[in-house]
Amino acid sequence: DGGITQSPKYLFRKEGQNVTLSCEQNLNHDAMYWYRQDPGQGLRLIYYSQIVNDFQKGDIAEGYSVSREKKESFPLTVTSAQKNPTAFYLCASSISVAANEQFFGPGTRLTVL
Amino acid sequence: QKEVEQDPGPLSVPEGAIVSLNCTYSNSAFQYFMWYRQYSRKGPELLMYTYSSGNKEDGRFTAQVDKSSKYISLFIRDSQPSDSATYLCAMSEGAQKLVFGQGTRLTINP
């Protein structure tokens, strides 16, 4: 089945720790995205990548980092610099950044203890 | 003022009712409009995709875009309990990032 997978589904982090969220897609999409969703709020863009080895900051990139070493994979690291990291994190992909239809993974819920 | 405004609800209607969900926006350059459905603790699922003004129908769902009023709507006919979810509108200028509304939480009561 083609799709986007995210792992883990739930993640707990102690304050001061970095954690990495995994996102993999087998849709052969060039573009990938990371969003953050807080209760009662829409999705806010953290980072996006148009092609391998290239990525751009979104609206709320501070405290986050990404890499795109393979077309299929776009991991997100939440660093200790992110002041309020507890949220639902969603990965998405599209055929290209020019294509407006984005397809989402199931999400990772990160909780800081 | 947010670029995209969406009433967060919650909205509760009886089974079989017609549901109307709406978003307004301020950026007249938006050309592509989407509706996503998101079940609790799941990722959003693309429901409807429209370009520019007009209507698009898919089964029980109809998406309407009125660019002159900067207003989009999603209608659900013969609503079912399985339609209970949060509905997010999203829009873009084209080859640009998507801008999302905050989502409307909908409950269909049997």
Report residue A72: phi and psi, to 5°: -80, -15
pLDDT at position B7 is: 86
pLDDT digits over A7-40, tens only?
A: 999 999 888 899 999 999 999 999 999 999 998 7
Q: Which whole-number Å values give the CA distances from B27 to A58, B13, B105, in the listed order?
A: 18, 31, 24
- Which residue from B minimizes the CA distance to A91? B43
Task: Examine the pLDDT at B9 and tell me if it is beyond 90.
Answer: no
Residues of B with CB under 8 A from a CB of A: 4, 6, 8, 32, 34, 36, 41-46, 49, 88, 90, 92, 94-95, 97-98, 100-103
3-state SS of A22-89 is EEEECCCCCEEEEEEECCCCCEEEEEEECCCCCCEECCCCCCEEECCCECCECCEEECCCCCCCCEEE
pLDDT at B2 over 90: no
Distance, in Å, from the CA atom of B35 to the CA atom of A90, rounded to the nearest integer, reads: 17
How many beta-carbon contacts under 8 Å exist across A and B? 54
Q: Do B45 and A40 touch (CB under 8 A)?
A: no
Look at A98 and B103 and tell me if their CB atoms are within 8 Å.
Answer: no
Q: Distance between CA B9 and CA B104 in Å, rounded?
A: 5
**Mean pLDDT along residues B15-31:** 96
Give me chain A's average pLDDT, please. Answer: 93
Mean pLDDT of chain B: 93
